[in-house]
Chain A
Amino acid sequence: MLEIRNLQAKAGDKLILRGIDLTVRAGEVHALMGPNGSGKSTLAQVLAGRELYEVVGGEVLFEGRNLLELSPEERAREGIFLAFQYPVEIPGVSNLYFLRAALNAVRKHRGLEELDVVDFAGLLRERLRLLGMNEALLERPVNEGFSGGEKKRNEILQMAVLAPRLAILDETDSGLDIDALKAVAAGINAMRSPERAMLVVTHYQRLLEYVRPDFVHVMAEGRIVRSGGKELALELERQGYAWLEEEAAPARAGQP
Chain B
Amino acid sequence: MSTAIDQIQAWTEQDYKYGFETPIESEAVPPGLNEDIIRRISARKGEPEFLLQWRLRAYRHWLTLKEPTWANLKYPPIDYQSIVYYSAPKGWKGGPRSLEEVDPELIRTYQKLGVPLAEQERLAGVAVDAVFDSVSVATTFKEKLAELGIIFCSFSEAVREHPELVERYLGSVVPYTDNFFAALNSAVFSDGSFCYVPKGVRCPMELSTYFRINARDTGQFERTLIIAEPGSYVSYLEGCTAPIRDSNQLHAAVVELIAHDEAEIKYSTVQNWYPGDRQGRGGIYNFVTKRGKCLGRNSKISWTQLETGSAITWKYPSCLLIGDGSVGEFYSVAVTNNYQQADTGTKMIHIGRNTRSTIVSKGISAGRGQNSYRGMVKIQKSAQGARNFSQCDSLLLGNRCGAHTFPYLEVKNPTAQVEHEASVSRVGEEQIFYCRQRGLSSEDAVSLIVSGFTRQVIRELPMEFAVEAQKLLAVSLEGSVG
Contacts and interface: CB of A to CB of B under 8 A. Distances in A.
A84 B436 CA distance: 13
Chain A interface size band reads: 35 or more
A197 B184 CA distance: 71
B455 A92 contact: yes
A102 B453 contact: no
Given A92-B453, A93-B448, A101 B440 contact: yes
Contacts of A97: 478-480
B479 A101 contact: yes
A92 B441 contact: no
B464 interface: no
Given A51-B429, A92-B455, A92-B480, A98 B438 contact: yes
By CB atoms of chain A within 10 A, which of B448, B478, B482 has the most? B448
Given A51-B433, A81-B437, 12 more contacts: A72-B433, A73-B439, A89-B431, A90-B435, A90-B452, A92-B456, A94-B479, A97-B480, A101-B440, A101-B444, A103-B439, A162-B439
A49 B435 CA distance: 12
Contacts of B442: 73
A72 B437 contact: yes
A102 B439 contact: yes
A103 B438 CA distance: 8
A82 interface: yes
26 contacts: A51-B3, A52-B1, A52-B429, A72-B433, A75-B437, A76-B439, A84-B437, A87-B434, A88-B430, A89-B431, A90-B431, A90-B435, A90-B449, A92-B456, A93-B451, A93-B452, A93-B455, A93-B480, A94-B479, A94-B480, A97-B479, A101-B479, A102-B435, A102-B438, A105-B438, A105-B440
Contact of A76 (B3, B431, B438): B438
B454 interface: yes
Interface of A: 48-52, 71-73, 75-77, 81-82, 84, 87-94, 96-98, 100-103, 105-106, 109, 117, 141-142, 158, 162
B331 to A, nearest CB: 14
Contacts of B451: 92-93
A105 B437 CA distance: 11
Contacts of A102: 435, 438-440
Nearest to B441: A73
A109 B439 CA distance: 9
Given A92-B452, A92-B480, A98-B448, A71 B436 contact: yes
B452 to A, nearest CB: 3
A165 to B, nearest CB: 13
Contacts of A106: 439
B391 to A, nearest CB: 12
A51 B1 contact: yes
Contacts of A52: 1, 429
B440 to A, nearest CB: 5
Contacts of B4: 51
B431 A88 contact: yes
Nearest to A120: B479
Contacts of B439: 73, 76-77, 102-103, 105-106, 109, 162
Contacts of A82: 437
By CB atoms of chain A within 10 A, which of B452, B456, B482 has the most? B452
Interface string B450-468: 0111111000000000000
A17 B93 CA distance: 78
Contact of A90 (B1, B441, B448, B478): B448
Nearest to B456: A92
B479 to A, nearest CB: 3
Contacts of A89: 431
A73 B429 contact: no
Contacts of B449: 90, 93
A51 B430 CA distance: 10
B135 to A, nearest CB: 41
A91 B437 contact: no
